[in-house]
Structure 1
């Protein structure tokens, strides 16, 4: 099968799609013929597979690609809200070339509320046609589909993000202290960092007593770091929460292995790469339903789950602090849960889904 992937990923290494998209394409190339077009002027550096970058998205024309990708069997768009995608999809419909959209959380009810008026207008004028004309929507989790609703498109399938097998994983020995870690973009509402801080305020004395500290790694977004630093100081959380710069590669691996649990209190996600990665290292996780993986974590007994509100996050942290004796078991369960998301297995499954869709 000849598959054309179209994305608009930035050069920056922050953000899950910057890792998941190249990985997905690279592993799919083992089973299908693939070509990757990235409509971003900054391009992609140090990727797992070559991306063909366009400095100006308006210059891209599918008919200019070399055969067979000027008339591929299938086109897969990564994410939704890009004006160039609407133009390209119009050409695809004229040529009767099927396409799939992977929204990566952008169609969930929570995501639609972000810049809600702008999105409603955009949907009416442009994006509803793009979405409804797709051969299918490719959701990353069942919860993402349920959170998005069935009105966008009559057809969907679920193919999650994946992860690699780790050589070194967390060896839980137990100690008098606990270290939590968050790795991701500093976005107060989206990533639910405000919920995390409010939970720490309520549990301040208990967290100090249990010698539990939390490290937040990631790039600043919309001045969030200044807000976080101010709230840390105002609420005397200096001994509990510490801000760190973004990390990658070996440095990130070491930070995960030195931590005891991972935190993701997001209001909405597609299928969070940071969470899957943490599980693969054997870190039990505290997650909200907005992470779109709370159900899996709960079923696998790989951490602690909460609704996406302050009091529920507080209760989840209380369970975490009271269950130190279960960390070793939850760590093993976390590794086992991550094995469901082996990239190679997912690529084989995707091939079957795509062939069925085309046929």
Structure 2
């Protein structure tokens, strides 16, 4: 179990440009706050997070503190507007604001954890590598060195992040499973719909591989009346690039690139999918994959999503690699699969999510890990 504690989550959340970190941190905080002995607050470190939703949590925005002079004033703001935390959890990587606040925490002997959400893997550090090398030298390595622990979302993320010289805890993300009447019915229709839903980061999410695979098997996809939906917020002109690639390969009749969806539209996207595609090159613990599982949608995932082994063991999906030819063969096999094959995998997907990937389960596990960290910090 865990002890009473006050937790402050600090994260660059954005409701203007939604991302996995925003969804994961918000829902984790909400789930943790449901335990009566736990007090949880959010400090939003992004400069322009957009319209902040009403949350049953105390929320402090960085933009409301711009008039303050000095980090001691900001600490007083946290103390008076929120509470004095027992533990601070910094989410994401390479945010200078986090490093500055961490210095103040160290000065006041307040322990903190770094949760990189996949941002410390070898693949992530190789993306815009020179900027990250500079960031490490200027502030990020010092932030990590002062942490009581690093929280990875999966064993795979930990293994691909290397040794940063700090204690490690592993606790992943979760979902709020939808009710039975909202579930997908894979394989029930004459047509097939394959869905990618997430941030449209071409290289990180493997969307270049997905489009190349679709181009290679476009004849078979048309014959089986299979369509591919790529849905999510753009990133650095990625939506334009994807649309151009769809046009270049003459895929407009079988591949649709769409903007972000929320609420009922997002639920409907999962509910109408027969298969969920996530050929990512690097992840922490992708919430979109967990959401798809919870809707009863079988998934095609790479080992880098860090859920592949559980998916295969449960019979809830299939493996993918970053070889376009290999992925194309998988797409064809699933486009031609018997309806009962997809239906059985969908039922297994739902059970996997219910048994292992709910937010209450994730909250309880993180709180138990936090208790261990606090005991060690107080004994030091």
Instruction: Classify the TM-score, shorter chain.
Output: over 0.9
For the residue of structure 2 that corresponds to 1:182, the secondary structure is strand
Distance 1:47 1:73 in 2: 25
- Cα distance, 1:69 vs. partner? 5.9
Taking the TM superposition and a 5 Å limit, the aligned residue runs for 1:235-250 are 235-250=249-264
Aligned to 1:156: 168
Unaligned runs of 5+ in 2: 376-380
Greater shift in the superposed pair: 70-79 or 114-123:
70-79
Which of 202, 218, 223 is equivalent to 2:237? 223
Matched, 1:45 2:52: yes
Pairing 1:356–2:375 present: no
Task: After TM superposition, give the deviation of residue 153 of structure 1 in Å.
Answer: 3.2
Partner of 1:87: 100
Cα–Cα, structure 1 residues 12 and 323, in superposed 2: closer, same or farther, change >3 Å? same
> What CA distance in whole angstroms lies between the structure 2 residues aligned with 1:47 and 1:328?
37
Change (3 A) 1:106 1:280: same
Deviations 1:132-185 (A, max 9, x none): 221111111111111112x21331111111101211212345333211111122
Shift of 1:314: 2.4
Stretch of structure 1 that moved more, 338-347 or 302-311: 302-311
How many residues get paired? 358
Q: TM-score, normalised by structure 2?
A: 0.89
Could you say if the C-alpha distance between residues 142 and 7 of structure 1 is closer, same or farther in structure 2, counting changes exceeding 3 Å? same
Secondary structure of 1:148's match?
coil
Could you say what the CA RMSD is over the residues aligned between the two structures, in angstroms? 2.0
Structure 1 pair 172/306, CA: closer, same or farther in 2 (3 Å)? closer
Cα deviations by residue, 1:332-352 (Å, 9 ceiling, x for unpaired):
111011121111122122221
Task: Tell me, in whole angstroms, the C-alpha distance in 2 between the residues paired with 1:117 and 1:66.
Answer: 37
Between the aligned partners of 1:48 and 1:158, the Cα distance in structure 2 is 27
Look up the match of 1:326.
341
Give the match's secondary structure for 1:55: helix
Please tell me whether residue 295 in structure 1 is matched to residue 309 in structure 2.
Answer: yes
Q: Is the 8 A contact 1:41 1:56 kept in 2?
A: no
Which has the larger displacement, 264-273 or 286-295?
286-295
TM-score, normalised on structure 1?
Answer: 0.93
Residue 81 of structure 1 deviates from its aligned partner by: 1.1
> Are 2:194 and 2:229, in contact at CA under 8 Å, matched by a contact in 1?
yes
Aligned runs of 1:121-132 on 2, under 5 Å? 121-132=134-145
The 1:129–1:320 alpha-carbon spacing in structure 2 relative to 1, beyond 3 Å, is same
Aligned counterparts of 1:40 and 1:329: Cα–Cα separation in 2 = 42
Instruction: Go from structure 1 to structure 2 and tell me whether the alpha carbon gap of 1:192 and 1:52 turns closer, same or farther (over 3 Å shift).
Output: same
Distance 1:156 1:57 in 2: 32
Contact 1:24–1:343 (CA under 8 A) maintained in structure 2? yes
- What is the deviation of 1:13? 5.0
Q: Report deviation, 1:250.
A: 0.5
Counterpart of 2:214? 200
Q: Determine the C-alpha separation between the residues in 1 that align with 2:154 and 2:336.
A: 30
1:288 to 1:127, Cα distance in 2 relative to 1, 3 A: same
